[in-house]
A and B are shown apart, each in its own frame.
Chain A
Amino acid sequence: MILLSDAVVAGLLEKVDIPDPADLEVVSRARPTVAPEQYRPFDYSSSDIPPLAEFGSGYRFHITGLLHDESGAPTEDSEVVARWWAYMQRKLDDHLDEILDWDEILLDDADTAVVAYGCTARSAEHAVELARERGHRVGLLKLKTIWPFGDAIIDQLADRIDRFVVPELNLGQIRLEVQRVVGGRAKVEGINRADGLQISPEQILDVIAEKALA
């Protein structure tokens, strides 16, 4: 997993609501039941979440960022490497519903959907608030995971949305994914900026409002 950090969010102080720890469900990782010498921490043959021994509990094993085998030892054995990637892909496919995450904001009656992620999603949310005040039927799809791409939600929206607006702090990346899934059913437009500044709510609002003028 790669967590995409963001200078705007990192430099921001804000109030957050922290839930009462007592209200949180804690899932404890299973501990090994086999003898230490038989323990294989990355043996996925019986479970996608194999038992994990605590360090210092007598189970001795390797932890590494290099590609490793079931024992945890680094390996360049192509068979083991292929098995590992096949497993990772299968695990990803099987749990896609739990991995993909997004917020749908004011999309129920919308004809225009802004698709945004990261700090740009905050500009987009404010733009949508301002656009709603001016009577535009616009909503926001805020992507919290961007890869694997959430094909299903875009596919579902494409049946009822006329226009997707994709603001991004690059020259257009996720826009291409949206275009791929929409497949011509709706208009897809990018708002792109690569000058070190944030996309402002006004910049998004202007694009949303263009259609009303057209």
Chain B
Amino acid sequence: MMTVETPEMTTWESLQDVFEIVSRRGPDPIILSSIPYLPGDEHRHTHFPVVLGPPGRVISMAVGLRAALPDTPLLLVTAADSATLGTNHLIHTARRNIGMTVLMLYSDLLETGDIPVDRTGWTSTGYQVEMEQAETPLEWAIALQASLVGRGSLLNPSEFANLIVEAVETPGFSVIGVTGDPTLRTEVMSRRSDWPEYFATYRAWSEGMAPSPPSSIRPVPPAQPRSSTPARIEVRIAGIGGQGVKLAGTVLSEAAALGEGLWATQFGDYGSATRGGPSRVDVVMGSRPISYPAADNSDILIVLSREAAAAHLTHAGPGAACVADEGTVEPGPGGPLIVPITQLAREHAGTPIATGVTSLGCVAALSDAVALSSLKIALPTRIPERSVESNLRAMEAAYKLTADLIRGNQT
């Protein structure tokens, strides 16, 4: 193996020599660099297509280029920035194993003094232990199951070029540490041939979205609501995080839009509401396009917790149809219909996460706008197949109970 002493060359010049060797073995690589001003760099002499990007973000730029250019080698010149500023890009791209080669330059090559590139001091346990205990960016890339992880040296351009070529020819995500320190061993530290190339799936999706053939776009019926449908119906479902409230809003709006041909919006109250905090979703649907997506004056209001009942029932207008989950309000004349929604969800679906979807049965019973049959069509696209049947049973039970209560009130 040829070893050359190149004390007079800058890092960028050395890299360009390596890239020249790589380009002679295959198609022109595209160089993406987050290091705009390497020592002695002279940008005017562009030997390759170069994309300069913000520190840490060139990985995400390369994802876009990979989608457009499936076969072009993408060589990313980065410092530790791709493991620090670009942590999330590195993680997501490595996990999806998107084909690119990240050259992570050791700090000695960038003349930044003694700033360490190691990312140490992680103390989290339990979750992704392997990744979080990795001490250097290269170990980290191995833990993320990158296709190829290695270390190359600018002191040995020919061997380094071979390593890059191997990385480029290995499908998937590669990381190579680049050093100029003669005491560091150059090697392939990890190879994974069993790791699938997920990007093929992404590419297939993007091809499915292309204008040709147009038949691949899921057709949506034009808005042709029944003449009796009002211009605007506001539905609010309020509860706590973990009841599947947002999901219920999504299913309801899709049932309205796709099943009934109505215009519809779904608008969630986002925030810290994941589990236990207040959660709310507003669905507005009707025969005309929806301008304002919030249900400030709900026509239908479903409350699934004591807090939601206290916060929303008092604001419901005189014409509003209100349903409260059992145990959230004191029963009494003039109050909301009381349906044991959580209990039905537990009984039929075995989980309180189905509470929101169960409550859609109440919505269908209270309004002609969205039929139970449309909800049944919309639900399976949004929940796991194994849960569809039990969720539908819970929804039907809520529908029947609500309809019975309405009939009981009328007689």
Q: Are B266 and A14 in contact (CB under 8 A)?
A: yes
Q: Are A14 and B293 in contact (CB under 8 A)?
A: yes
Main DSSP-derived SS at the B contact region: loop
Q: Are B36 and A12 in contact (CB under 8 A)?
A: no
Main DSSP-derived SS at the A contact region: loop
Q: Are A61 and B46 in contact (CB under 8 A)?
A: yes
Q: Are B294 and A62 in contact (CB under 8 A)?
A: no
Q: Are A12 and B292 in contact (CB under 8 A)?
A: no
Nearest CB on B from A102, distance (A): 16
Q: Which residues of B contact A202 (CB under 8 A)?
A: 296
Q: Are B28 and A15 in contact (CB under 8 A)?
A: no
Nearest CB on B from A58, distance (A): 7
CB of A34 within 8 Å of the partner chain: no
Q: Are A55 and B54 in contact (CB under 8 A)?
A: no
Q: Which residues of A contact B211 (CB under 8 A)?
A: 21-22, 24
Q: Are B28 and A74 in contact (CB under 8 A)?
A: no
CB of A173 within 8 Å of the partner chain: no
CB of B401 within 8 Å of the partner chain: no
CB of A209 within 8 Å of the partner chain: no
In the assembled complex, the Cα of A55 lies from the Cα of B263 at a distance in Å of: 42
Q: Which of A11, A15, A122 has the most CB of B within 10 A?
A: A15
Q: Please choose the segment from B189-197, B198-206, B212-220, B333-341 that sits at the chain A interface, where 4 or more of its residues have CB less than 8 A away.
A: B212-220
Q: A13-B266, A14-B290 are in contact. Are A20 and B53 (CB under 8 A)?
A: no
Q: Are B257 and A15 in contact (CB under 8 A)?
A: yes
Nearest chain-A residue to B250 (Cβ)?
A13
In the assembled complex, the Cα of A116 lies from the Cα of B369 at a distance in Å of: 31
CB of A59 within 8 Å of the partner chain: yes
Q: Which residues of A contact B257 (CB under 8 A)?
A: 14-15
Number of interface residues of A (CB under 8 A): 37
Number of interface residues of B (CB under 8 A): 44
Q: Which of A17, A24, A56, A125 has the most CB of B within 10 A?
A: A56
Q: Which residues of A contact B68 (CB under 8 A)?
A: 55
CB of A64 within 8 Å of the partner chain: yes
Nearest CB on A from B254, distance (A): 8
CB of A65 within 8 Å of the partner chain: yes
Q: A22-B214, A55-B65, A55-B69 are in contact. Are A61 and B49 (CB under 8 A)?
A: yes
Q: Which residues of A contact B36 (CB under 8 A)?
A: 64, 66, 74
Q: Which residues of B contact A200 (CB under 8 A)?
A: 294, 296
Q: Which residues of A contact B262 (CB under 8 A)?
A: 15
In the assembled complex, the Cα of A201 lies from the Cα of B44 at a distance in Å of: 56
CB of A81 within 8 Å of the partner chain: no
Q: Are B264 and A14 in contact (CB under 8 A)?
A: yes
Q: Which residues of A contact B85 (CB under 8 A)?
A: none
Q: Which residues of A contact B223 (CB under 8 A)?
A: 15
Nearest CB on B from A166, distance (A): 18
Q: Which residues of A contact B290 (CB under 8 A)?
A: 14
CB proximity to B under 8 Å, residues A139-183: none
Q: A8-B267, A122-B292 are in contact. Are A62 and B69 (CB under 8 A)?
A: no
CB of A123 within 8 Å of the partner chain: yes
Q: Are B214 and A64 in contact (CB under 8 A)?
A: no
CB of B253 within 8 Å of the partner chain: yes
Nearest chain-A residue to B296 (Cβ)?
A200
Q: Are B49 and A60 in contact (CB under 8 A)?
A: yes
In the assembled complex, the Cα of A62 lies from the Cα of B36 at a distance in Å of: 11
CB of B47 within 8 Å of the partner chain: yes
Taking a contact as CB atoms closer than 8 A, the residue among B46, B49, B72, B265 that contacts A12 in the complex is: B265
Taking a contact as CB atoms closer than 8 A, the residue among B214, B249, B263 that contacts A15 in the complex is: B263
Taking a contact as CB atoms closer than 8 A, the residue among B268, B292, B294 that contacts A125 in the complex is: B292
Q: Are A15 and B267 in contact (CB under 8 A)?
A: no
Q: A11-B270, A21-B212, A74-B43 are in contact. Are A63 and B292 (CB under 8 A)?
A: no
Chain B positions within 8 Å of A, measured between CB atoms, are 27-28, 30, 36, 43-44, 46-54, 65, 68-69, 72, 211-212, 214, 217, 220, 222-223, 249-250, 253, 257, 262-268, 270, 290-294, 296
Show 7 A/B contacts (Cβ-Cβ < 8 Å), sorted by A: A12-B267, A22-B214, A55-B69, A60-B49, A63-B49, A74-B36, A126-B292
Chain A positions within 8 Å of B, measured between CB atoms, are 7-8, 11-15, 17-18, 20-22, 24, 55-56, 58-66, 71-74, 122-123, 125-126, 129, 198, 200-202
- A15-B257, A15-B263, A64-B51 known; 13 new pairs, CB 8 Å cut-off, are A12-B293, A13-B253, A14-B264, A15-B264, A17-B222, A18-B217, A22-B211, A58-B28, A64-B36, A73-B43, A123-B292, A198-B294, A201-B296
